[in-house]
A and B are shown apart, each in its own frame.
Chain A
Amino acid sequence: MNSAPRTATSGAPRATPPGSASAKGPGGPGGGGRARWSPFRTDPAVPPWIFVVPALAVYAVVVLYPSVAGVVYAFTDWSGVGSFSFVGVDNFRTLLDDRRALESVGNTLLLTVAVVVVQNGIGLLLALGVHANIRSRALLRVIFFAPAVVSPVMVAFLWKYVYNPEGGAGLNGVLGALGLGGLRQDWLGDPSLALWSVAAMVIWQYAGYSMVIFLAGLQGVPAELHEAATIDGAGAWQRFRYVTWPLLAPALTINLMLSTIGGLKLFDQVYAATNGGPGTASETLSTVLYKEAFVYGKFGYSTAVALVLALFVAAVSLVQLRYLRAREVTA
């Protein structure tokens, strides 16, 4: 985490915003007795550690304890009810031979790449669009962001209507009306399309989310840099390439990581739209591990799959973070 010397750590986050209570202000505990120890009062440059405790307590109870306790089950044959016995690494050995699980890894990766690339591409274009000086930009921002606040399951149900295979309904109906009847498809029922149809649905929902993060990044690019570049004779593309783009790096890091993690553990939309089908054409690691546990009653094996997924997501995220943070620059 601290291997990126050029990151913007000395900027805004630690500065005290004007007008808000400062750590040294009258509200500060201890009333100025410098020598007295207090959990609230340490080096003013370092936030007191006790601030972390409430969040950490909740995190420990809700996330850490169940996660660690769950790992144990990955080495058992627990069926979800009744007793269990330890089976060593059998579950992991089964996973290596489980064709359906391995296929689902391929699907998960395809889905993730598609979502990460397209969602962030569209998100960036939308952000550039609504950052420009156009009259309806506030309204457009709301419209583009709106799908992100809808529950993913609701989005999947709505899109099932959009993807209705009948010629006159939904997307097929629109294609027909545009004279593009030849492009009509069985969007969710065709095994070669189902995965991409789900990807399109996810991108539709979260492109606005990426947009908002990029927009925040864009608004952090100082206007004087653009002015200077303009005076130096840079055109619109050059200003984007050499001024905006490098400074968007922190936003890009966040967006790529969020969408990668989201893509790798994608469940709701797939489960609600296709249930992994037709056949196993759109099965992802998350739908497989859900089915192993709650449909087949193999909680032990499912936990093993979940553990592998968690480690995989963590590994990918760490590599990504190291790489992306290394290329961040400050204004």
Chain B
Amino acid sequence: MTTGFPRFSHARTDGPGAGLPVPPGRATVSRRGLLRIGGTAAAAAALPAALTACSGSGGGTGQVRVVGVADQQKPLEELIAAYRADHPDDRFSTSFAPTDQVQTVVRTQLAGGNAPDVHVLYPGSGSAMSMAELAKASLLTDLSAQPWTKGIPASFDAAYRRDGKTYLYSAGSSVIGAIYNKKAFARAGVEPPGTWAELLDVCGTLKAAGIVPIALGAQTPWVTQLISYALVPDAVYAREPDFDDRMTAGRATFVDSGWADALGKYKELQRKGFFNDNPNGTTFEQQTSLVAGGKAAMAVQVSAVLSTFRQATRTPDDLGMFPFPAGDDAKKQWIPAGIVVGLGVAAHAKNPDRAKAFVEFLGRQENIDRWAKAVSAIPFKRGAATRLDPVLDPFLPVIDAGRAVPFMDQRWPNAEVQPAHFAAVQDLLAGKKDVKGALAQMDAAYRKKA
């Protein structure tokens, strides 16, 4: 609040104790003091040049520099330790930050020509740090020559590849479903539902038992999208598998699609009082503690945050997960499954060979499995020894039957649609917009230039 305001000298300074603006006695500076100040200033002025020089010679240390997002810290640190056991001479420097910050930091470093060797990379398009955006700007190294890339199913192409070249390493996909507290379900005497109608029944029973049926932390922007994502595969893609292509071609809109049914159901859950009070004022952390503590029965979440939920309770085995039902047929459920955030090798990496060797190591089956396990994901390819987190078992039949749909934003054309969706859901929950208005907002963002 004080920056750049030059006129403090106007305040009178002759009263007792009137020291704030210009302390008496400091109004004049001795010559020695002046020289000292001048020297400091000169040093400060020289600092940027010195810093640039440092960064320019950063490659000389030979460290492979890795910048990841906070969710990747556990698997990456484990796997770097494992890699170094075989390659003791390869040294790594790692840093991790939450999503917002890491996007800012890495983009700035890429723009400044000071790219880390290996950095966080989001699958598909649709975000400022996504594979497609950075590949388009020629900032990524093509990894297609590495053996693990042959195992990527063609259905995941849009997430891993652009123009036939593989740029993303990601261990696999996480699913969106309901994380539920088994004890809370038992208290109300209910079982995980398989259809939308059953879901409404279960929620009604839970509410009658004094338990919040669904915890929703919509103040945290990314949490707002999860219920839409859980409902849209059934409401949109089960009926129109080519919806994304028709959107790209400008022959479809959100407003006139199954998205309207999905958001209608989202709103219905709120109207029936199945969320906690004031979801727009509730954060992800509060949502987590509501379910972990048994005050709420479930939360629609992505499996990657299971570990956060488990940390919040003393009895992690009480937490389970089931596909959040959106349709009428329990045998034909559809689920959203998105490729988890992964890594890319910068085109201007200072240690490209060692960076690529490390990613190739990550692509071995046992390491894919290790990474997937750490983030409760399903590996993009499974080997004989692959063991999944048992809470994911209810999702496997759905995935194997081909009824898993990538997270919707991975095919969106620019980075604005997703934030528009966050805002639309918040407005919907606040009663400021109806379903049509909310979706019109998303259509407007979709049509903007990338």
Q: Do A and B bind?
A: yes
A and B contact pairs by CB, cutoff 8 A, 22 listed = A17-B28, A55-B41, A81-B137, A82-B136, A164-B281, A165-B281, A189-B279, A190-B281, A191-B430, A213-B20, A219-B15, A220-B18, A254-B5, A254-B11, A258-B2, A277-B422, A277-B423, A277-B426, A294-B104, A294-B107, A295-B419, A297-B415
B367 within 8 A of A: no
Determine, out of B42-50, B187-195, B389-397, the stretch whose residues face the partner at the interface: B42-50
Output the nearest chain A residue to B415 by Cβ-Cβ distance.
Answer: A296
| Ranked 8 nearest A-B pairs via Cβ | A189-B281, A220-B12, A189-B280, A54-B41, A165-B281, A82-B137, A165-B278, A186-B278
For residue A168, give the distance in angstroms from its CB to the closest CB of chain B: 12
Cα(A328)–Cα(B31), bound, Å = 35
B432 in contact with A294 (CB, 8 Å): no
A216 within 8 A of B: yes
Please indicate the chain B residues that have their CB under 8 angstroms from the CB of A13 in the complex.
Answer: 9-10, 13, 22, 27
B24 in contact with A8 (CB, 8 Å): no
Q: Which A residues, 11 to 46, have Cβ-Cβ distances below 8 Å to chain B?
A: 11-13, 16-17, 19-23, 27, 29, 40
B20 in contact with A212 (CB, 8 Å): yes
Given A20-B28, A40-B31, residue A81 in contact with residue B110 (CB < 8 A):
yes
B10 in contact with A250 (CB, 8 Å): yes
Q: Which of A19, A29, A277, A295 contacts B219 (CB 8 A)?
A: A277
Given A8-B12, A187-B281, A279-B433, residue A262 in contact with residue B1 (CB < 8 A):
yes
A275 within 8 A of B: yes
For residue A44, give the distance in angstroms from its CB to the closest CB of chain B: 11
B1 in contact with A254 (CB, 8 Å): no
Q: Which of B103, B219, B433 contacts A189 (CB 8 A)?
A: B219
A296 in contact with B28 (CB, 8 Å): no
A160 in contact with B283 (CB, 8 Å): yes
Cα(A191)–Cα(B18), bound, Å = 43
Q: Which of B40, B108, B221 contacts A277 (CB 8 A)?
A: B221
**Which chain A residues have a beta carbon within 8 Å of chain B's beta carbons?**
7-8, 11-13, 16-17, 19-23, 27, 29, 40, 51, 53-55, 57-58, 61, 79-82, 160, 163-167, 186-191, 206, 209, 212-213, 215-217, 219-221, 250-251, 253-254, 257-259, 261-262, 274-275, 277-281, 291, 294-297, 331
Please indicate the chain B residues that have their CB under 8 angstroms from the CB of A188 in the complex.
Answer: 219, 280-281
Cα(A56)–Cα(B133), bound, Å = 40
Given A27-B30, A82-B137, residue A11 in contact with residue B415 (CB < 8 A):
no
Output the nearest chain B residue to A262 by Cβ-Cβ distance.
Answer: B1
Cα(A143)–Cα(B89), bound, Å = 55
Q: Which of A19, A190, A221, A296 contacts B25 (CB 8 A)?
A: A19
Dominant SS among interface residues on chain A: loop
Since A17-B27, A216-B11, A278-B430 are in contact, a sample of 5 more A-B pairs with Cβ atoms closer than 8 Å, ordered by chain A residue number, is A12-B14, A54-B41, A160-B283, A190-B281, A295-B128
For residue B289, give the distance in angstroms from its CB to the closest CB of chain A: 11
Cα(A321)–Cα(B134), bound, Å = 46
Output the nearest chain A residue to B221 by Cβ-Cβ distance.
Answer: A275
Fill in one digit per residue for B94-117: 1 if any A CB lies within 8 Å of its CB, else 0.
Answer: 000000100110011011000000
Cα(A270)–Cα(B76), bound, Å = 33
For residue B243, give the distance in angstroms from its CB to the closest CB of chain A: 24
Given A8-B12, A12-B13, A297-B415, residue A277 in contact with residue B280 (CB < 8 A):
yes
Fill in one digit per residue for B411-423: 1 if any A CB lies within 8 Å of its CB, else 0.
Answer: 0001110010011
Please indicate the chain A residues that have their CB under 8 angstroms from the CB of B134 in the complex.
Answer: 81
B38 within 8 A of A: yes
Please indicate the chain A residues that have their CB under 8 angstroms from the CB of B108 in the complex.
Answer: 80
For residue A18, give the distance in angstroms from its CB to the closest CB of chain B: 9
Cα(A296)–Cα(B37), bound, Å = 42
**Which chain B residues have a beta carbon within 8 Å of chain A's beta carbons?**
1-2, 4-5, 7-18, 20-22, 24-25, 27-31, 34, 37-38, 40-42, 44-45, 48, 100, 103-104, 107-108, 110-111, 128, 133-134, 136-139, 218-219, 221, 277-283, 286, 414-416, 419, 422-424, 426-427, 429-430, 432-433
Output the nearest chain A residue to B12 by Cβ-Cβ distance.
Answer: A220
For residue A169, give the distance in angstroms from its CB to the closest CB of chain B: 9
Given A216-B18, A254-B7, A294-B107, residue A190 in contact with residue B430 (CB < 8 A):
yes
A16 in contact with B281 (CB, 8 Å): no
Cα(A280)–Cα(B444), bound, Å = 15
Cα(A257)–Cα(B5), bound, Å = 8
B128 in contact with A11 (CB, 8 Å): no
A163 in contact with B281 (CB, 8 Å): yes
A186 in contact with B1 (CB, 8 Å): no
Cα(A38)–Cα(B27), bound, Å = 21
Q: Which of A79, A261, A296 contacts B5 (CB 8 A)?
A: A261
For residue B17, give the distance in angstroms from its CB to the closest CB of chain A: 6
A79 in contact with B10 (CB, 8 Å): no
Output the nearest chain A residue to B39 by Cβ-Cβ distance.
Answer: A54
Cα(A49)–Cα(B79), bound, Å = 60
A165 in contact with B282 (CB, 8 Å): yes
Cα(A216)–Cα(B14), bound, Å = 10
Output the nearest chain A residue to B418 by Cβ-Cβ distance.
Answer: A295
Output the nearest chain A residue to B424 by Cβ-Cβ distance.
Answer: A279
A279 in contact with B426 (CB, 8 Å): yes
Please indicate the chain B residues that have their CB under 8 angstroms from the CB of A278 in the complex.
Answer: 218-219, 280, 423, 426-427, 429-430, 432
For residue B314, give the distance in angstroms from its CB to the closest CB of chain A: 21
Given A80-B128, A81-B134, A296-B416, residue A58 in contact with residue B427 (CB < 8 A):
no
Q: Which of A21, A187, A217 contacts B30 (CB 8 A)?
A: A21
B138 in contact with A82 (CB, 8 Å): yes
For residue B93, give the distance in angstroms from its CB to the closest CB of chain A: 22
For residue A298, give the distance in angstroms from its CB to the closest CB of chain B: 8
Please indicate the chain A residues that have their CB under 8 angstroms from the CB of B278 in the complex.
Answer: 165, 186, 189-190
Given A82-B139, A216-B21, residue A54 in contact with residue B48 (CB < 8 A):
no
For residue B291, give the distance in angstroms from its CB to the closest CB of chain A: 15
Among B37, B110, B219, B419, residue most surrounded by chain A Cβ atoms (within 10 Å): B219
B31 in contact with A27 (CB, 8 Å): yes
Q: Which of B17, B25, B277 contacts A219 (CB 8 A)?
A: B17
Please indicate the chain A residues that have their CB under 8 angstroms from the CB of B28 in the complex.
Answer: 16-17, 20-23
Please indicate the chain A residues that have their CB under 8 angstroms from the CB of B31 in the complex.
Answer: 27, 29, 40
Cα(A158)–Cα(B204), bound, Å = 35
Cα(A8)–Cα(B111), bound, Å = 49
Cα(A291)–Cα(B138), bound, Å = 23
Output the nearest chain B residue to A115 by Cβ-Cβ distance.
Answer: B1
For residue B273, give the distance in angstroms from its CB to the closest CB of chain A: 15
Output the nearest chain B residue to A53 by Cβ-Cβ distance.
Answer: B38
